[in-house]
Amino acid sequence: MRHRLETAAKKGMLADSAMIAHGRGEAYDYLLGERTIPSAHFATQVALHTLKNAQHPVLSVNGNVVALAGDEILLLADQIKCPIEVNIFYRTPERMDALLSDLNERKQRLGLDVDILGSHPDASIPGLKGPRAKCESRGILASDVLLVPLEDGDRCEALVAMGKTVIVIDLNPLSRSAQRGTITIVDELSRCLENMLSMETNGLPTASEYHHSETLQAALNEIVNGMKNKFSSE
Amino acid sequence: MRHRLETAAKKGMLADSAMIAHGRGEAYDYLLGERTIPSAHFATQVALHTLKNAQHPVLSVNGNVVALAGDEILLLADQIKCPIEVNIFYRTPERMDALLSDLNERKQRLGLDVDILGSHPDASIPGLKGPRAKCESRGILASDVLLVPLEDGDRCEALVAMGKTVIVIDLNPLSRSAQRGTITIVDELSRCLENMLSMETNGLPTASEYHHSETLQAALNEIVNGMKNKFSSE
CA–CA min distance A30, chain B (Å): 10
- Tens of pLDDT, residue by residue over A183-200, are 999 999 999 999 999 999
Q: Give me the residue from A17, A24, A217 closest to B232, CB to CB.
A: A217
3-state class (DSSP) for residue A71: helix
Contact A26 B24 (CB under 8 A): yes
B3 in contact with chain A, both atoms CB, cutoff 8 A: no
CB atoms within 10 A of CB B109: 10
CB contacts < 8 A (A, B)? 92
A138 within a domain of the structure (yes/no): yes
Interchain CB distance below 8 Å, B217 and A223: no
Residue B121 lies in a domain: yes
CATH of residue B62's domain is 3.40.50.12640
Q: How many CA atoms lie within 13 A of B42 on its CB side?
A: 15
CB of A162 less than 8 A from some CB of B? no
- A217 domain-assigned: yes
pLDDT digits (tens, 9 = 90+) for B128-186: 988 889 999 999 999 999 999 988 888 999 999 999 999 999 999 999 999 999 999 99
User: Tell me, what's the pLDDT at A234?
Assistant: 43
Instruction: Tell whether A110 is within 8 A of chain B (Cβ).
Output: no
In a domain, A231, yes or no: no
Give mean pLDDT, residues B40-67: 97
Average pLDDT over residues B5-16: 90
Cβ <8 Å between A23 and B28:
no
Mean pLDDT of A157-185: 96
Closest to A199 measured CA to CA, from A40, A60, A68: A40
pLDDT, tens only, A91-147? 899 999 999 999 999 999 999 999 999 999 999 999 998 888 999 999 999 999 999
For residue B135, the SS3 value is: strand
Q: How far is B177 from chain A (nearest CA, A)?
A: 15
Instruction: Report the alpha-carbon distance of residue A48 to residue A167 in Å, rounded.
Output: 10
Q: How far apart are CA A31 and CA A27, in angstroms?
A: 6
What pLDDT does residue B234 have? Answer: 43
Residue B116 lies in a domain: yes
**Residue A83, SS3?**
coil
Confidence check: pLDDT of A182 > 50: yes
Residue range(s) defining the domain that contains residue A182: 2-226
Count of domains in chain A? 1
Got the DSSP string for A140-172?
IIT-SEEEEET--HHHHHHHHHTT-EEEEE-S-
User: How far does the CA of residue B200 sit from the closest CA of chain A (Å)?
Assistant: 31
Per-residue pLDDT reduced to its tens digit, B90-134 = 889 999 999 999 999 999 999 999 999 999 999 999 999 888 899
Q: Are A6 and B16 inside 8 Å of each other by CB?
A: yes
Q: Do the chains contact at A24 and B27, CB–CB below 8 Å?
A: yes
* Residue B68 located in a structural domain: yes
Q: What is the mean pLDDT of chain A?
A: 94
Q: Indicate if the pLDDT at residue B28 is higher than 90.
A: yes
Flag whether A69 is in a domain: yes
Using the 8-state DSSP alphabet, how is residue B59 labeled? E
Domain annotation covers residue B113: yes
